[in-house]
Structure 1
């Protein structure tokens, strides 16, 4: 027994005529009659009493008409909904991003997406790198934009942006009077506030002990986010180190930012997705708009777009120099995939 049988039965039950039902279904009357006979054989009961003027439902078939109608409506509605999702006329996209990606990258991409697909619901969460990666791994988020932290083998990381690190300090700090290029060595004699190791930015700094920002012989202040970092910087006379996009986001714009040299170091932002997970048509459309937005970005606060004429490619750098900025790579794990966006 199939939906074909139910459609034929319901059409005859509704019209009370094999002739009208056949026309409605674009079938020959003989074909429709054969299908109804087959359904009666499968069910083991007679479904219609046939007279010369009208076809009527038997007592055994009266209740079945309501059931068949409900099944057909549910099926047709489900197919309609599925087609609407494929056209992005409805659906739900869940995105997790580093806070610094919100105003500079995601917001303009969402404006363009909503303009074309106004009926799609969008959920956005600004989280730290660890939570972003885990939410994608657990399937509660469709994709993320962040600095890689855990490098889970089941996730794919596609580099899309790199922005340089710099010093962040109050406008009346002694560093504001520093002439010429600011180097990492220039920071060593100032009170430093760092981000914790479980943040993407903090983890990157900790992987380069030669920078010696924490070599002060005692404990120093830590923050778990740029929000709490702002509060510590407001205590005065303190400095921190952030990538340029993070330093030009939200409350952090209250402070001065100067790019650091010797070495010049960049943070790498990746599009993070679940490995082997198929994108829904809606997710694929928003990703296409997101990547188009990134490619068309003017240079914002020294950020560099990691793309080329043949697509986005991972940044592979093995030396630190003034001519070739260093992208701080996440610690690689066996099996970690670094991808271009195809």
Structure 2
């Protein structure tokens, strides 16, 4: 008896001793789902959980750090291991330790979470008008007397802002 998993277009089948039996494999599940499947189900919060586990090495401390229950953290870890299709942390009597695959995930997770945080901060700054370009049209007499002090006060509270001034 032999088993062969073959792809029949969007469907997959298992060939067992000459017979072919269809198998349902979700498109967004795990590594078998293609180049985008892994990322379509992975959550940023799950990456944060993995980072906390890697840092603390302890399920309870990581849960406490993140304000979660150990049960919720354990479920998130199980979800990440299901998504990747491999164990990410070894359970030991003293806590958890990342596997080789877990270490690879942690390295990428650090960069991903940092990038997401940077993007969130950038948009927060834009929402609060801390960053961006302000265009002003002024008459020449206002620049030295009035506008200089107003711009100085504005830039003190929003140092990332820039001005485009049209004099005319």
1:299-314 superposed matches below 5 A: none
The aligned counterpart of 2:62 is 21
**What's the TM-score, normalizing by structure 2?**
0.64
The aligned counterpart of 1:4 is 45
Which of 141, 146, 149 pairs up with 1:103? 141
Shift of 1:6: 0.7
- Tell me, yes or no, if structure 1 residue 115 matches structure 2 residue 153: yes
The aligned counterpart of 2:133 is 93
Question: Are 1:92 and 1:123, in contact at CA under 8 Å, matched by a contact in 2?
Answer: no
Question: CA 1:36–1:102 in 2, change beyond 3 Å: closer, same or farther?
Answer: farther
Question: CA 1:26–1:53 in 2, change beyond 3 Å: closer, same or farther?
Answer: same
> How far apart, CA to CA, are the structure 2 residues paired with 1:79 and 1:33?
27
Question: Are 2:136 and 2:163, in contact at CA under 8 Å, matched by a contact in 1?
Answer: no
Question: CA 1:96–1:109 in 2, change beyond 3 Å: closer, same or farther?
Answer: closer
* Greater relative CO, 1 or 2 (CA 8 Å, sep 6+): 1
> How far apart, CA to CA, are the structure 2 residues paired with 1:94 and 1:116?
11
Match of 1:27, SS state, is: coil
Match of 2:87, SS state, is: coil
> How far apart, CA to CA, are the structure 1 residues paired with 2:128 and 2:64?
31
Shift of 1:106: 9.7
1:21-100 superposed matches below 5 A: 21-89=62-130, 91-95=131-135, 97=137
The aligned counterpart of 1:290 is none
Question: CA 1:107–1:95 in 2, change beyond 3 Å: closer, same or farther?
Answer: farther
> How far apart, CA to CA, are the structure 1 residues paired with 2:79 and 2:61?
19
Once superposed, what is the RMSD of the aligned Cα atoms? 2.4
Structure 1 residue runs of 5 or longer lacking an equivalent are 128-342
> How far apart, CA to CA, are the structure 2 residues paired with 1:108 and 1:19?
59
Question: Are 2:81 and 2:87, in contact at CA under 8 Å, matched by a contact in 1?
Answer: yes
> How far apart, CA to CA, are the structure 2 residues paired with 1:107 and 1:81?
33
How many pairs were matched up? 124
Question: Are 1:88 and 1:117, in contact at CA under 8 Å, matched by a contact in 2?
Answer: no
Structure 2 residue runs of 5 or longer lacking an equivalent are 1-41
Question: Are 2:58 and 2:95, in contact at CA under 8 Å, matched by a contact in 1?
Answer: yes
Shift of 1:71: 0.9
